[in-house]
Amino acid sequence: MADIILEMKSITKEFPGVKALDNVNLVVERGEIHALIGENGAGKSTLMNVLSGTYPFGTYTGDIYYNGEICQFKTLKDSEEKGIVIIHQELALIPLLTIGENMFLGNEKKNKFGYIDWDLTNNEAEKHMKQVGLNESAQTLIKDIGTGKQQLVEIAKAFSKNVKLLILDEPTSSLNDEDAKMLLDLLMEFKKNGLTSIIITHKLNEIIYCADKATIIRDGSTIETLVKGVDDFSEDRIIKGMVGRPMDDRFPAREHRVLPEVGLEVKNWTVYHPLYHEKIVDNDVSFHVNKGEVIGFSGLQGAGRTELAMSIFGKSYGTNISGELYLNGEKVDLKNPEQAIAHGLAYVTEDRKTNGLILGESIRFNTTLARLDKVCSRGVIDTTAEKNVAEEMTEAMGTKTPSVEQRIGNLSGGNQQKALLGKWMFTEPDVLILDEPTRGIDVGAKYDIYCLINKMVGDGKSVIMISSEMPELIGMCDRIYVMNEGVLRGELDAKEATQEKIMSYIISAEN
């Protein structure tokens, strides 16, 4: 008889106007890694929030059985006491506090006088850090360690709470491939010691790699649970379950018609760190993109790709930038983003929430922001024209929204990304730089965005794509540049590129 640690039975959760979860069932066995997959807005996070007590008992219907007994969690603390710990996609760490302080935040180790016992705190912290293989001092500040290590701190923190069931919400979305693999290996290691994990992720290859079972949620309902070794446990099979139809092509076909003219060329581009002026972030980088061409930039996190793009985009990153920039064969000097936009450059930022959108404002407001002059006459906004263009862009991008007056923060990730693309399409760019354009969005929305990219280059524009997902670069680009530690390590024709080849460029650079 299987040892069931968690069973969620016919969970239904409604928000005003929306049924987020409709009769969802989930069974998790002790000691397994259970993947929870589904498109954005399918209800995965909602389900986990119900489980952890973030949505307290009474706001949903259905039963939760944990270790055989029925549970009614009212707060996060209730579920944590039982050993259920959830690690959210956005890490809940405070950058200016130390690892130790973060780990026992809200749960401080006190001595008998009620003061915090720092020696005990740090000692305990380091004990748990060792469990997850994190070799740092507990007194290191969070801001001084990378995202990968921060993720480990979160897991160590979970251990400090005596975790039995660990829930990870998109743990690898901000990690590079190497760190992601390390994290997954760690989970598999813990599994041997009996830890049960539920992992929510969009990266199907990770599921194949580490999960024992995968439950697919679509539109608030559980569709099926696939078991490794029993069912067909392949990416195609999972996608079929997620979107409800087989998706033969994850990348839309495109006629590769690279024009001979060069759209953008960069020569000997060198960028220094904005704060540490001696540190070189991008060193002597040269590349070009033709009209009608998609080029990709691959590399690990911290390879200097985003910094390269931003420094080209009107020097919005770095100091002491040197090198030459040519647009349509003409040498230009772009001093600020305004000039970059005027020269037909668009940079769709990596982090749509912090750098891309004004979440509290409407789609209309966001769409026109970068080129308000297009809907203005003598500095006065023509609201009718503005509304019209916003509606046009929304339709062209396929953004799903009741109206353009909708607050952009209320949209799902995929729709936010489409709205962000719409904002930059509105600037009518000749060269579009996309920084992680499909991070954290579902398969369907990804496909739509790929189609938009194809349309751009079909019109003879140039697209530069920065992505940590190698299959995406291989599937979409004409050529791929590989960067590591601020240096261009190689250039591949996409036809002959494989993940192994790209990795070998990166790794050979490290040796």
Binding residues for other proteins, rule: CB under 8 A, are 16, 313-314, 316, 336-342, 347, 349, 354-361, 365, 369-373, 376, 379-381, 383-384, 387, 403, 407, 423
- Of 104 and 317, which has the nearer Cβ to other proteins? 317
Instruction: Output the six-digit token pair for 82.
Output: 């039982």
Which is nearer to other proteins, 35 or 375 (by Cβ)? 375
Smallest distance from other proteins to CB 130, Å: 37
Residue 389: CA count within 13 A, CB half-sphere: 24
Query: Residue 450 Cβ, how far from other proteins at the closest point, in Å?
Result: 23
Which tokens go with 142? 């969070």
CA angle 218, 206, 94 (to 5 degrees): 90
CB of 348 vs other proteins, minimal distance in Å:
10
Sign of the Cα pseudo-torsion (315, 440, 297, 393, in order): negative
Q: Would you say 88 or 387 has its CB closer to other proteins?
A: 387
Centroid of chain to Cα 370? 24
In the complex, minimum distance from the CB of residue 337 to other proteins, in angstroms, rounded to a whole number = 4
Q: Which is nearer to other proteins, 235 or 351 (CB)?
A: 351
Contacts for 299 with CB less than 8 Å, ≥ 6 apart: 305, 482, 483, 484, 489, 506
In the block, tokens 């119900």 appear at 50
Q: Least CB distance from residue 474 to other proteins, whole Å?
A: 28
Residue 53 vs 356, nearer CB to other proteins: 356
Residue 136 near residue 149 (C-beta atoms within 8 A): yes
Look at the block and give the residue holding tokens 């005596």. Answer: 162
CB of 109 to other proteins, least distance (A): 33
Phi, psi of 354 (to 5 degrees): -90, -30
Contact 393, 452 (CB under 8 A): no
Calpha distance 131→110 (Å, rounded):
23
Nearer residue to other proteins within complex by CB, 89 or 316: 316
Q: Least CB distance from residue 404 to other proteins, whole Å?
A: 11
Whose Cβ is closer to other proteins: residue 273's or residue 353's?
353
Q: How far is the CB of 58 from other proteins (least distance, A)?
A: 18
Closest by Cα among 3, 54, 53 to 30: 3
Residue closer to other proteins, measured from CB, 17 or 260: 17
For residue 422, give every residue at least 6 positions away whose Cβ sits within 8 Å of its Cβ, in sequence order, or none. Answer: 363, 367, 393, 394, 396, 397, 399
267/374 with CB nearer other proteins: 374
Query: In sequence order, what are the residues at sequence separation of 6 or more whose Cβ sits closer than 8 angstroms to the Cβ of residue 187?
Result: 33, 166, 168, 195, 197, 199, 210
Q: In terms of CB distance, is 236 or 338 closer to other proteins?
A: 338
Judged by CB, which is closer to other proteins: 142, or 357?
Answer: 357
- Shortest distance in whole angstroms from residue 78 CB to other proteins: 22
Alpha-carbon span 159 to 417, nearest angstrom? 35
- Shortest separation between residue 212's beta carbon and other proteins, angstroms: 37
Q: Are 59 and 65 in contact (CB under 8 A)?
A: no
Q: How many degrees, rounded to 5, is the angle at CA 182 between CA 177 and CA 183?
A: 100
**Which H/E stretch holds residue 238?**
helix 235-243
**Minimum distance, C-beta of residue 467 to other proteins, in the bound complex (Å):** 19
> What amino acid occupies position 43?
G
- Number of neighbours of residue 245 by Cβ within 10 angstroms: 9
Residue tagged 């929510």 (tokens):
200
Q: Decide whether 259 or 381 has the Cβ nearer to other proteins.
A: 381
DSSP-based three-state secondary structure for 143: helix
Residues 6 or more apart from 80 whose CB is under 8 A from it? Answer: 52, 161
Complex with other proteins: residue 15 or 105, whichever CB lies closer: 15
| Contact between 11 and 62 (Cβ < 8 Å) | yes
What do you get for the CA distance between the two ends of the chain, in Å? 50
Q: How far is the CB of 494 from other proteins (least distance, A)?
A: 28
Q: Smallest distance, Å, CB 90 to other proteins?
A: 16
Asked if residue 44 lies in contact with residue 38, where contact means CB atoms within 8 angstroms, the answer is: yes
Quote the CA–CA distance of 155 and 139 in Å, as a whole number: 17
